[in-house]
Structures are given as structure tokens and as C-alpha cells.
Amino acid sequence: MKKAPSYKAIAFLISLFVFSGCHKDNLTKSITVKSTTKDVPNYYFNWETASNMPVAGSSPVVSLPWQSQSGNYIDPSLVSDYKSNDGWELVYNTFNPNVIATAANQPAGGLYFALYNRYRGIIRYYLYIPTGLFGNSSSIEHGLSTYSDNSTSSKMLNFDGVDIVDPSISTPSFVKTNNQGVAVGGGWYSMQYEIGYDPAFADTTYPHLGFTWNSKTVNISQIALNGTNVGTLNGNITQPSSGFDLAGTLINGIVGAAEIYGTVATAGAASGTFLSGLGGAAAGGLAGNVTGFLSGIFGGNSNNSQEVDLKMNSTISLNGTLSGSQPLVPNSLVFPGQSVANTIGAPVPLIGHALGVFNLSARPTVNVHTTRQSVLVNEGGQNVPYNQYSIQYTVNSSIFNSLVQQNTSVINSSATGASIQNLTYQVVMINPNTGYNFNANATHENIGSLSVYTGSSVTLQYLAEHSLPVNNTQVAVRVSFNVVPNNGAPSSLIVKSFVANLVNN
């Protein structure tokens, strides 16, 4: 029997998302682009073989996050997941032989390095907090946002913060929080984001389109997910915004996404609770069962076969207020894959290929076919004529195949490439009308706050004395596939769901 995740062993995140356009002005105000002085270039080092982080001789020694006595506050499974053979590449690094790793001397933007996994589409930042930079019990609010000076947008941030992606829009920002307070003694903290592939990004130029990695500290007292109290979070939580200038009272009743990542270990949540739903979905995904969730990445770590990154929708309720603690300076980043107008001195990333594994260029189409027949229903000894409706929902396969975008920097026959195998897709009917003697030829799943019916084809049946009212059912398409590296590294199961259009036929 598969065991549910232990929430002592799993880093727990709350993600909220913003769909309200690009909000160019607000986002631009939250970053500083230097136009006259050149930033220090990203410094390459072999993170797999190094004994310590590169720092100046006069600096305190900084161990790597996966070394013993490094002072890390990172889930153990994430700490063990860094091998280049598993797809990890060094993208950014502010440590170098001239850095003094103290609170008074750290570079603007902080001390960090970032690894990217080409097979999973995940970028992971490792942030080092020097001793004394923050007080105890403050936690780090963090996230990515886009900004533009010419209305250019990107779909690269669409995959994080939600478990159902709308490919017709471009998400400009999302924010997250780790369930881990920052100790006054400092140490390592990790921040992980899922990136969607955007082929149009190759035609962009920095700084006309850029990304900002933000991090700051705020405090709350308690959090509940779908009415289930998950304990005191001595740290931060966020509310939807067009940037990261958050202030005021926390908003309750927000539908966002809860995310777990790390090792699936022993059971840690009561049966029937939201947390047990997360745990069951994670265990099922690791077993290859695509049910009980709409978005997740499973496997891919040669040091741990139980690797998980799972998102699930949730109604978030909070107690507490936002407090303006010490922010880290936002980092304006050149993302791999775009051109750079480098008269501004922006450090280029250490890899040049596009990020993300795949995406859909637009909403997929689900065809709807409705049949009606008259039947007689005995009511009190009398036969009463009723209308029996049978509504079949099927993914339009030809349109779907035309929408799939694969990143050829990853999906290729080279030694560092991979193949996509076992690609499947399912109809997901979201919160359908279950009145009128409802019956379904489909699999019923409760996913977070949603009641869904799924299958390669879903048929809903109703019995109505008169005509059936308009059914405002929402529909999505759940896509799943394995990414199989050509070098023999462990494969990953990727599952994403996309908002779909209904078309009668």
C-alpha cells in the first residue's frame, strides 16, 4: 500500500496567482534596472564537486546546501536532488572569489545560486541568509514576475500557482511562501518554480521583457486550507497583487493552490482531510496513477525515487496581518533563451537554451455531442413523458495535436536530450450540474475544492420533464506524459491540465 506524505518531511507552500493583465506600470516600479554600472557576471563553479561555495579568503566559509553542517532549512529530498546527470544545470550564481558572505557585505540582491532541471522544467534558487540579516520567525515571501517596456508578455509563468492552466492568457506574477521561519543564525533556503515553454520568448530582448525574482519577509499567525487548519505558519503568506508591494489586511476565501514537494514518506494527515487528499494524490502519481490531482511532476531524482512536486486548488483562509519586514533587493534577471541589449550591463545566464519542457499554444477543444429521446416515467401509476439527455464530451485530437509545443532544446536525440513517451489526455468536467437524475459514465474525482468527472470520453446523462436548462459546466483537458532522458537517468511523469473550449458538433 502506498503511504501518504509526511508533512514533517515535505516542504509545504501556498501559491497565489494573478491573471489581471500585465500591469506593466506597477511591475516596473518594483524593480531597478541599472543603466550605467555593470553588474558582476554570474560565476560558474562545479556545484557537484566543490567543497565550499566560492568566497573571498577573508569571508566566513559557506558550505554547500547538501553538505553536513551547512545550516540548511531545505527538505532533505530537495537537498539530494542536484546531479547534472539528472538534468540540473547552473543558471545563476552571485558567489565568487571576491564575495564576503556576511550581512554587512553581501552583494545587492543577496547571495544565491540557481539550478535548472531541463527534464522537469523546474528552476530552483538556493538563497543563503547570512547570520543576523533577519530576526527569528520571519519567513521569506518569494516569486517571479514579468515586466516590459513595450507590452511584450510571456506564458512562461503560467504553470505555477494554479493546477489548471489557461493557455489563452499570460500570467504576469505569482507569489509563494515556505513553511519555514528564518533563523537569526542564517542558513540555506530553497525556492522552486515550474516554467512553461514559450517559443515566442526567443524573439524577445532584455530589458524590453524581463523577469524579476522577488523575496521579502512578512508574518501571519494561522492558515486554513478548505477549512482544514494546517497549524501556525510562522512566516509569510500573500494576497493577489500586480506586483510585490503588499500591504494591509490579508484577504480570506482566496482560491489559490497548495503545493507540496519533497519525499513521500509515512502517513501524516487524517483520512478525508484536504491534506490526506494531497498525500493520496502524491502517492498515486508516484505509482503512475493519474487520478486525484490535476498538476504534478513525479520522479526524476536518481538519489530518491519518491520525488514529488504537486499542486492542488484550495480555498485559503488566513489570520494575521502583513508586516513590512526587511526586503531583499529584487533581482532583475535575463532569462535563458532571449537576446540581451547588454549596454545596460545585465549579467547573462550561464546557459543559453530556452526553458520549459512543453506548453499548449491555445485552449484545446472539447467537442460536445447531445442526444435526446423521450421516455415515459411512472409517477403514481401514470406514465409521464420525460426527456432523457445524453451529453458526450470528447477531446478534439487533431486540434490538440496542433497545439502541443515541445521544447526542441530538451526533446531531441542528443546525449543531453530526452523523449516524450506515453502522451495521453483526458476530458475533465468541473463541478457539473448533478440535478435532474444525474448519471455519469466517467471517473469521479474530488480534487481540492473541485468535484470533477474524467475520462478519455465523458458522458453525462440527465432526465428532465421539460427542456434541460443551460449547463454552464467548465471543462479542462488533463495531459500526462513521461520525459525519458537519453542518458539513462530516471524518467519523470509530468501532468498538466488546461482550460478548454466547448464546441457543439
Tell me how crowded residue 406 is: count the other CB atoms within 10 A of its CB.
16
pLDDT 10s digits, 476-502: 999 999 999 999 999 999 999 999 999
What percentage of the chain's residues is helix, strand, coil (to nearest 5)? Answer: 10, 40, 50
- How confident is residue 29, by pLDDT bands cut at 50, 70 and 90? very low
The percent of residues above 70 in pLDDT, for the chain, comes to: 71
pLDDT at 218: 59
* HSE, side-chain direction, 13 A CA sphere, residue 1: 7
pTM score, two decimals? 0.87
- How confident is residue 240, by pLDDT bands cut at 50, 70 and 90? very low
What is the Cα–Cα distance from 151 to 27, expressed in whole angstroms? 12
Please name which of 66, 112, 47, 115 lies closest in space to residue 87, comparing C-alpha atoms: 115
pLDDT at 248 over 60: no
pLDDT at 234 over 70: no
- How confident is residue 30, by pLDDT bands cut at 50, 70 and 90? very low
Task: Between 178 and 94, name the one with better pLDDT.
Answer: 94
Most confident of 71-75, 187-191, 379-383: 379-383
What is the Cα–Cα distance from 284 to 262, expressed in whole angstroms? 15
pLDDT at 23: 37
pLDDT at 246 over 60: no
- How confident is residue 425, by pLDDT bands cut at 50, 70 and 90? very high
> Mean pLDDT score of the chain, rounded to an integer?
79
Grid coordinates 538563497 are at which residue? 127
Task: Between 29 and 368, name the one with better pLDDT.
Answer: 368
Q: Report, as an integer, the average pLDDT of 115-142.
A: 83
Tell me how crowded residue 247 is: count the other CB atoms within 10 A of its CB.
11
Task: Between 10 and 155, name the one with better pLDDT.
Answer: 155
What is the Cα–Cα distance from 65 to 488, expressed in whole angstroms? 26
Which of the residue ranges 278-292, 302-316, 396-410, 442-456 would you say has the lowest mean pLDDT? 302-316
- How confident is residue 326, by pLDDT bands cut at 50, 70 and 90? low
pLDDT at 141: 72
